[in-house]
């Protein structure tokens, strides 16, 4: 017999980056529960419960609501390939890395893509959207609700009306926003919406919740060509999640258990309370960061609660601080992406991670790391300001 190979012993981190976020013991336990078959009545029941809970979190009655087997990017691809046929026009709004990814996905799906842009950290105005849909007359307009690469929140309600008045469908990325900010799929009339499990839902990465409006389903049913991806073809996948229970691919059983448990935790807390918790700890963190002179990279009205993008103070080494946070304190925060690389940090307060303990630990640890870089601020000012916020709220 060959010598034993030691078991994995992953370090216990505090995940305060752009995702994944910390996971609750109940969710992790689900991953270790007995695996059943993908057509076992027990699993079919889990799927039905998951769909019902996803509809509550998405705030929709959409029948076609399910968890795609794959991460958030698979959700993006699912929405795009099911709506787009080769040659269809699609407008993609790019103000960060994920809008850029959507444009890439749309091009690969054969769309005739028109991108409209805003600088990283800014959001689109209704006027800019109106101009684009009037000029292009697209079948679909794609936009990111919470740009995790920049920390900016894109208001969607007004845009939705403009897009529909122009006869187009609205495709929205809610990977980071779902669970941390209101996402009103029916209220805002979003047509194709995808998310991910590892951000504010606090489940490990691996599934992508998606939902399609009746209008989007009608568009899919009216296709002249087959969906370009076999794996992500909703006309087949929906027969497995729907009445027929027809085998399409083997669902990742234990990941679906975990998502079911993560959704249960969100709904037990109450969706609105879940949103309110994200806002509260974001404001506490902001009070603390402001007190030590660290400022936000996004204008106030558009700051995301779950993803705090802040400007790295002049003279401070980005990588050294992030390494010290990880090695000495076990805290992960994110660096900047694209043009923000080396300029911003992205501090996540997503789902399970979002609590006062983590806000206070981070502020204390960050003060130490900044001090080691020669950055000066009043000792303990960040923690004191956050505590003052908590006392008053």
Which residues in this chain contact ligand PLP in the complex, by CB under 6 A? Answer: 19, 71-73, 76, 98, 144, 146, 148, 173, 175-176, 196, 205
Of 72 and 209, CB closest to ligand PLP? 72
Shortest approach of ligand PLP to residue 102 CB, angstroms? 8
Shortest approach of ligand PLP to residue 142 CB, angstroms? 11
Shortest approach of ligand PLP to residue 277 CB, angstroms? 19
Shortest approach of ligand PLP to residue 147 CB, angstroms? 6
Q: What is the largest CA-CA distance in the chain?
A: 71
Residue 86 token pair: 């080769």
Q: Which of 288, 277, 273, 226 is nearest to 84 (CA)?
A: 226
Of 258 and 360, CB closest to ligand PLP? 258
Q: Which of 185, 230, 193 is nearest to 210 (CA)?
A: 193
Residue 374 token pair: 């020669």
Shortest approach of ligand PLP to residue 336 CB, angstroms? 14
Cα(253)–Cα(347) distance, integer angstroms = 32
Shortest approach of ligand PLP to residue 153 CB, angstroms? 11
Shortest approach of ligand PLP to residue 195 CB, angstroms? 9
Per-residue burial over 283-307, b = 16 or more CB atoms within 10 Å of its CB, e = otherwise: bbbbbbbbbbebebbbeeebbbbbb
Of 77 and 191, CB closest to ligand PLP? 77
Q: Which residue has the tokens 């000792």?
A: 379
Of 76 and 325, CB closest to ligand PLP? 76
Shortest approach of ligand PLP to residue 144 CB, angstroms? 5
Of 71 and 358, CB closest to ligand PLP? 71
Of 19 and 382, CB closest to ligand PLP? 19
Residues whose CB falls within 8 Å of the CB of residue 214, separated by 6 or more in sequence, listed in order = 62, 63
Sort strands 207-212 and 169-173 into parallel, antiparallel or unpaired: unpaired
Of 62 and 95, CB closest to ligand PLP? 95
Of 51 and 95, CB closest to ligand PLP? 95
Would you call the peptide bond into 162 cis, given omega within 30 degrees of 0 as the criterion? no
> How is 229-284 classified by DSSP, letter by letter?
-STT-HHHHHHHHSSS---SS---HHHHHHHHHHHHHHHHH-HHHHHHHHHHHHHH
Q: Which of 186, 200, 136, 139 is nearest to 164 (CA)?
A: 139
H or E element in which residue 96 lies: none
The DSSP bridge partners found for residue 171 are 142, 192
The DSSP bridge partners found for residue 67 are 209
Of 138 and 196, CB closest to ligand PLP? 196
Contact 89, 139 (CB under 8 A): yes
Of 138 and 334, CB closest to ligand PLP? 334
Cα(15)–Cα(12) distance, integer angstroms = 9
> How is 127-171 classified by DSSP, letter by letter?
HHHHHHHHHH--SEEEEESEETTTTEE---HHHHHHHHHTT-EEE
Which residue number is nearest to ligand PLP in terms of Cβ? 72
Shortest approach of ligand PLP to residue 264 CB, angstroms? 21
Shortest approach of ligand PLP to residue 366 CB, angstroms? 23
Of 304 and 365, CB closest to ligand PLP? 304
H or E element in which residue 368 lies: helix 356-372
Shortest approach of ligand PLP to residue 161 CB, angstroms? 23
């Amino acid at each position: 017999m060959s010598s034993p190979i030691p078991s994995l012993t992953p370090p216990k981190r505090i995940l305060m980056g752009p995702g994944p976020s910390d996971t609750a013991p109940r969710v992790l336990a689900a991953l270790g529960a007995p695996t059943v078959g993908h057509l076992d009545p027990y699993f079919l029941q889990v799927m039905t419960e998951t769909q019902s809970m996803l509809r509550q979190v998405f705030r929709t009655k959409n029948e076609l609501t399910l968890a795609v087997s794959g991460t958030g990017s698979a959700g993006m691809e699912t929405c795009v390939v099911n709506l787009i046929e080769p040659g269809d026009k699609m407008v993609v709004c790019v103000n960060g890395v994920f809008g850029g990814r959507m444009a890439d996905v749309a091009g690969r799906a054969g769309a005739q893509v028109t991108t409209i842009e805003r600088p990283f950290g800014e959001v689109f105005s209704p006027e800019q959207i109106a101009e684009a849909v009037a000029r292009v007359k697209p079948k679909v307009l794609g936009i990111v609700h919470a740009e995790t690469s920049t920390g900016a929140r894109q208001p969607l309600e007004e845009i939705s009306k403009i897009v529909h008045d122009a006869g187009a469908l609205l495709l929205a990325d809610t990977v980071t926003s779902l669970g941390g900010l209101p996402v009103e799929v029916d209220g805002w009339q979003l047509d194709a919406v995808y998310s991910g499990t590892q951000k504010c839902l606090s489940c490990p990465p691996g599934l992508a919740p998606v939902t399609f409006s009746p209008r989007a389903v009608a568009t899919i049913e009216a296709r002249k060509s087959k969906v370009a991806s076999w794996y992500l073809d909703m006309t087949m996948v929906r027969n497995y999640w729907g009445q027929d229970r027809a085998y399409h691919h083997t669902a990742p059983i234990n990941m679906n258990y975990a998502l079911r448990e993560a959704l249960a935790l969100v709904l037990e807390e109450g969706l609105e309370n879940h949103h309110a918790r994200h806002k509260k700890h974001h404001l506490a963190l902001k009070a603390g960061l402001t007190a030590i002179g660290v400022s936000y990279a996004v204008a106030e009205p558009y700051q995301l609660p779950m993803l705090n993008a802040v400007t790295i103070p002049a003279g401070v080494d980005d990588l050294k601080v992030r390494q010290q946070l990880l090695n000495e304190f076990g805290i992960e925060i994110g660096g900047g992406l694209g043009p923000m690389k080396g300029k911003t940090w992205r501090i996540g307060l997503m789902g399970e991670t979002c609590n006062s303990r983590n806000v206070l630990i981070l502020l204390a640890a960050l003060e130490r790391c900044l001090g080691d870089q020669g950055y000066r601020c009043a000792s303990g000012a960040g923690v004191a300001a956050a505590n003052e916020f908590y006392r008053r709220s």
